[in-house]
Structure 1
């Protein structure tokens, strides 16, 4: 008789499942604040790095919002959990649908950025620069930062002055918003990145457009989205993220 290999759960996965169950049971209702890392470390009798890893996983999967300097809060809208989720699997949304959006984004947005570098006006550059400034000011406000991120990408499309590109981007605004929200979570979680690092990527894209370098602008947008595509494929293949236990939040 053949036996299926069983992978032992990491301590952080066990902690994550316990906290998630408490959220589902309304022990921690939507909008409520979780205990501090120190308090959770004492409650679960594990190291702080294990707690940070568990909270990072919960953030990546949409269960909590970590506000730097303000604590960890349960999101207002709890994600739908799946009965098929096993072994701490974090990739809870429909991979195929998400990857399709990424595929569309890669080619549409790379084209938009290339044309924007050739056709941008002074007003276009001014709007992009203002959005960059607003993103930098909103580094501690995840929801606001996401909105500025979306507007930045839409503004690049408008700077292409191609009515079809603009129409396509605006018609998929809702899907774009969902895609960017998940993209940010996955990128922050897998790459241990921050909103400030994301702002730097946006700034480089803006500078390429301002310099009129169409190839660089298109390449930077493509690389920007390919990072998330790579993370998605890694999540799908592994079923769970590889985290640095010493990473701090």
Structure 2
């Protein structure tokens, strides 16, 4: 079956979800590999990954690095407590709103105050992101994402602002995976695009362009906000 559409990942997501709902893949079952699904649907691997990310964000799939993709043992429609997979959307929204206020500010100050060692630290984190992308290592990608935002705060050279970011670190670490999946759900491209956004933020900071750095990081967080607002 050949799929020719601009938003192939949406069609693939719908087909996969139908297979789960109709019982072809039962709770706990392992899905075919990305390569197999790509061949079956006649789309690129990135399209399949986007589809899987969307279904993971909605609570249907569990993606285990190095272990494959599995149907959740407890499906969203079968939860006894009636909980929505986005039941934490309100608290996540609050966290995103705080992050947006703080991080647009830290990006502005980082562009103004960054030193060579700060740029080196940011470059190192971007290198880790690239490696995680090449290995398709979701966990490493999430850790690098947290580290990138922490490095921007450090580059602001404002101890109070850095302290506020540190105080959010634990909650940020717990939700970064969810926000990344939501980003993929909103964005119609791939994980490569997410890396490119981080690179753009870095380049603005390196160039000392405070306005652009603030704008880019705000746009980056707004994409996730938009998805959450639809779920509230």
Residue 178 (structure 1) aligned to one of 168, 174, 179: 174
Hey, which of these two has a bigger chunk of helix by percent? 2
Write the distance in 1 (CA, Å) between the matches of 2:51 and 2:190.
17
Tell me which residue corresponds to 1:58: 55
**C-alpha displacement of 1:59:** 2.1
Do 1:101 and 1:179's aligned partners in 2 also have CA atoms closer than 8 Å? Answer: no
SS in 1 for 2:27: helix
Query: Structure 1 residues 182 and 159 mapped into 2: Cα distance closer, same or farther (>3 Å)?
Result: same
Do 1:13 and 1:54's aligned partners in 2 also have CA atoms closer than 8 Å? Answer: no
**C-alpha displacement of 1:193:** 3.0
Structure 1 unaligned blocks of 5 or more:
1-9, 41-46, 238-249
Tell me which residue corresponds to 2:115: 121
**C-alpha displacement of 1:118:** 0.5
Tell me which residue corresponds to 1:35: 32
Q: Deviations over 1:44-81 (max 9, x none)?
A: xxx848xx6974443223532276xx783239x97895
**C-alpha displacement of 1:190:** 2.7
**C-alpha displacement of 1:180:** 1.9
Write the distance in 1 (CA, Å) between the matches of 2:54 and 2:126.
28
Write the distance in 1 (CA, Å) between the matches of 2:191 and 2:198.
11
Tell me which residue corresponds to 1:233: 229
Report the aligned-residue RMSD.
3.1
Residue 220 (structure 2) aligned to one of 206, 221, 224: 224
Question: Do residues 202 (structure 1) and 202 (structure 2) align?
Answer: no
SS in 2 for 1:74: strand
Question: Do residues 149 (structure 1) and 154 (structure 2) align?
Answer: no
Write the distance in 1 (CA, Å) between the matches of 2:189 and 2:87.
21
SS in 2 for 1:200: helix
Query: Structure 1 residues 196 and 56 mapped into 2: Cα distance closer, same or farther (>3 Å)?
Result: closer
Aligned residues: 205
Residue 88 (structure 2) aligned to one of 94, 111, 115: 94
**C-alpha displacement of 1:134:** 1.4
Do 1:38 and 1:48's aligned partners in 2 also have CA atoms closer than 8 Å? Answer: no
Question: Do residues 211 (structure 1) and 218 (structure 2) align?
Answer: no
Query: Structure 1 residues 160 and 39 mapped into 2: Cα distance closer, same or farther (>3 Å)?
Result: closer
Write the distance in 2 (CA, Å) between the matches of 1:179 and 1:185.
10
Write the distance in 1 (CA, Å) between the matches of 2:151 and 2:170.
16
Query: Structure 1 residues 19 and 97 mapped into 2: Cα distance closer, same or farther (>3 Å)?
Result: farther
Tell me which residue corresponds to 1:160: 156
Do 1:59 and 1:66's aligned partners in 2 also have CA atoms closer than 8 Å? Answer: no
TM-score, normalised to structure 2, is 0.75
Q: Which has the larger radius of gyration?
A: 1
Do 1:117 and 1:217's aligned partners in 2 also have CA atoms closer than 8 Å? Answer: yes
